[in-house]
Chains A and B, each alone.
Chain A
């Protein structure tokens, strides 16, 4: 079986989880990340707060924003980032989460300066930065340094899987699915 994906104009051979499929997909993705840029991903929502917001506000925003991080900004200029990892680092094991920490300004707990990536950088550069620096979030900026979005590892994974909708949509929900009742659907 040999076919051409309608979305990426890449050729695939084999079916389902044959090794051919596996190698074909990976090679196509490697080309894709070199040829495409951060700005090709579309909107990358960046929940943002001012440096004088409280940690309590930041935590609520972090949870509701569902992006894993808050960009701390002064106007359109990113000055820091506050991520789930920062919450982990700062959560005192010996006391409850309420208390004086509620009023701590974000400026005191954020990571600064934030790790950034240019909106015109290639996806490969973005991935390389994340992998080498150990980040899950990169603040997307333009050449003048203004905030353009927030890039997460999830955005990249999502984009990559979206390039192959036929292949991913046809895979079963559970690869090793076993049915307890042989008469079940």
Chain B
């Protein structure tokens, strides 16, 4: 069988499916909240509350992504352990070297990663830099649009 004999329709492609032409980068990626590793948990909490987001991303001085800190981490790593939010630095409680997606990754890969790892927020990189982030609700929302 050669490529000439391939019927485009046989590939399950729906030309009207908007996701067909859409890489992850063009989806509704959220604008990431960014802090430095020396910032405190208190600052992260204030930022998350103010911007109504469930996570902040940590970048080093070279603007490279080095960690993630989520509202779950606030409960598990700070509040339940009696740590002082004003005295605790993000570098001590963040998830370092986080799992990331690339902006040209397909949606199905995001679903795969979230399913395997149970993450609710995944940073999306473009050219090695933090471009945006995907939340599990955004992924679920995609299934509603038709």
In the complex, A7 has a CB within 8 A of chain B: no
Do the beta carbons of A23 and B80 come within 8 Å of each other?
Answer: no
Closest-by-CB residue of A relative to B125 is A176
Interface residues of A in 139-185 (CB under 8 A from B): 153-154, 156-158, 160-162, 167-168, 171, 175-176
Complex Cα gap A156–B17 (Å): 22
Q: Which one of B80, B118, B142, B144 contacts A60 once the chains associate, using CB atoms below 8 Å?
A: B80
B17 contacts A27, C-beta separation under 8 Å: yes
Residues of A within 8 A of B115 (CB): 157-158, 160-162, 168
Contact with B along A2-24 (1 / 0, CB 8 A): 10000000011110011111111
Q: Is B102 an interface residue (CB 8 A)?
A: yes
A128 and B80 CA atoms in complex are apart in Å by 32
The answer to whether A136 touches B85 (Cβ under 8 A) is: no
Residues of A72-126 whose CB lies within 8 A of B: 84-85, 87-89, 91-98, 124
B12, B84, B108: the one within 8 Å of A96 (CB)? B84
Q: Which of A124, A154, A161, A162 contacts B144 (CB 8 A)?
A: A124
A sample of 12 cross-chain residue pairs with beta-carbon separation below 8 angstroms, ordered by A number, consists of A2-B10, A20-B12, A33-B143, A62-B75, A88-B75, A91-B45, A96-B82, A97-B80, A127-B144, A131-B141, A157-B139, A158-B115
B binding-site residues for A, Cβ under 8 Å:
10-14, 17, 19-20, 42, 45-46, 48-49, 54, 71-72, 74-76, 78-86, 102, 105-109, 111-112, 114-116, 118, 120, 136-137, 139-144, 146
Question: Residues of A at under 8 Å CB distance from B?
Answer: 2, 11-14, 17-27, 29-30, 33, 59-60, 62-63, 68, 84-85, 87-89, 91-98, 124, 127-128, 130-131, 134, 136, 153-154, 156-158, 160-162, 167-168, 171, 175-176
